């Protein structure tokens, strides 16, 4: 008897896998031009904390992350329960939330890759931010932030990026105007994980450069 064909991936699985292959490119882009950025903007590079709101392996949005002196973290390494006020009252701030708060506090700049689920930011990103804002003081206030997004769809995660930018602004971040949204991200990278399209490369570089430049200007 012939073996039954394996079912193909669902749309959600495809979207997540596509989003998950993108979050490391900005790191590659900025490190590739690190010496130019540092010579152009600041003698001591600002520290940038970079993370993607996706937990899947080979996240597309993780490929879009970058930084000067970058600390690239994976939110898989900081699992958190779903935020609940009663849980917080009973147990306080979870240990992983405290670790993330410390990292955010130590870095003057944030680079966030925001995948798009149902036209919004991911539950992972929202839950992570919700827990971190329970710390005193608010660790996001005064940070410089940039948002990038990748999606297999034609809009490149632009709706998610807009929501993420609004949320970070509400939390007191200085969000840089430069944006990078990558449509059809499942076809955008070569086998080495590099962007194929020169315009997409320039957009990622522009976001990284503006984040470094703005942070350098605002550093005391």
Which domains, ranges and CATH numbers included, belong to the chain? 12-218 (3.40.50.360)
List pLDDT tens digits, range 92-122: 999 999 999 999 999 999 999 998 888 899 9
pTM listed for this prediction: 0.74
Asked if the model's pLDDT at residue 139 lies above 60, the reply is yes
Asked if the model's pLDDT at residue 69 lies above 70, the reply is no
Asked if the model's pLDDT at residue 57 lies above 60, the reply is no
Asked if the model's pLDDT at residue 218 lies above 90, the reply is no
Cβ contact 49:11 at 8 Å: no
Mean pLDDT in residue range 13-20: 49
d(CA 58, CA 44): 31
CB-based contacts of 25, cutoff 8 Å, min separation 6: 63, 64, 65, 66, 189, 193, 194, 195, 204
List pLDDT tens digits, range 142-177: 999 999 888 777 766 789 999 999 999 999 999 999
CA distances from 80 to 98, 122, 123 (A): 11, 14, 11
Mean pLDDT in residue range 173-186: 85
Cβ contact 139:101 at 8 Å: yes
Cβ contact 161:121 at 8 Å: no
Of 76, 47, 79, 78, residue with least CA distance to 62? 76
Mean pLDDT in residue range 33-58: 59
Asked if the model's pLDDT at residue 47 lies above 60, the reply is yes
Residue 126, pLDDT score? 96
pLDDT band (50, 70, 90) for residue 199:
confident
Asked if the model's pLDDT at residue 64 lies above 90, the reply is no
Residue 29, pLDDT score? 46
Which residues in 49-88 are b (16+ Cβ under 10 Å) and which e?
bbbbbbbbebbbbbbbbbbbebebbebeebebeebeeeee
Residue 61, pLDDT score? 47
Residue 36, pLDDT score? 35
Mean pLDDT in residue range 83-98: 96
């Amino acid at each position: 008897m012939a073996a039954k064909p394996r079912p193909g991936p669902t749309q959600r699985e495809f979207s997540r896998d596509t989003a998950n292959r993108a979050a490391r490119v900005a790191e590659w882009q900025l490190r590739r031009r690190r010496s130019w950025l540092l010579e152009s903007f600041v003698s001591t590079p600002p520290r940038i904390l970079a993370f993607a709101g996706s937990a899947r392996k080979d996240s597309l949005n993780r490929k879009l992350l970058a930084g000067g002196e970058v600390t690239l973290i994976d939110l898989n390494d900081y699992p958190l329960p779903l935020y609940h006020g009663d849980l917080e009252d009973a147990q306080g701030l979870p240990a992983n939330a405290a670790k993330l708060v410390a990292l955010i506090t130590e870095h003057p700049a944030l680079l966030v890759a925001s995948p798009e689920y149902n036209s919004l930011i991911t539950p992972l990103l929202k839950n992570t931010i919700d827990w971190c804002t329970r710390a005193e003081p608010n660790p996001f206030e005064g940070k410089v932030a940039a948002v990038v997004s990748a999606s297999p769809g034609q809009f490149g995660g632009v709706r998610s990026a807009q929501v993420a930018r609004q949320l970070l602004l509400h939390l007191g971040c200085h969000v840089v105007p430069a944006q990078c949204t990558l449509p059809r991200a499942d076809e955008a990278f070569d086998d080495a994980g590099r962007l194929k399209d020169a315009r997409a490369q320039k957009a990622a570089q522009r976001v990284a450069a503006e984040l470094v430049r703005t942070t350098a200007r605002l550093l005391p």
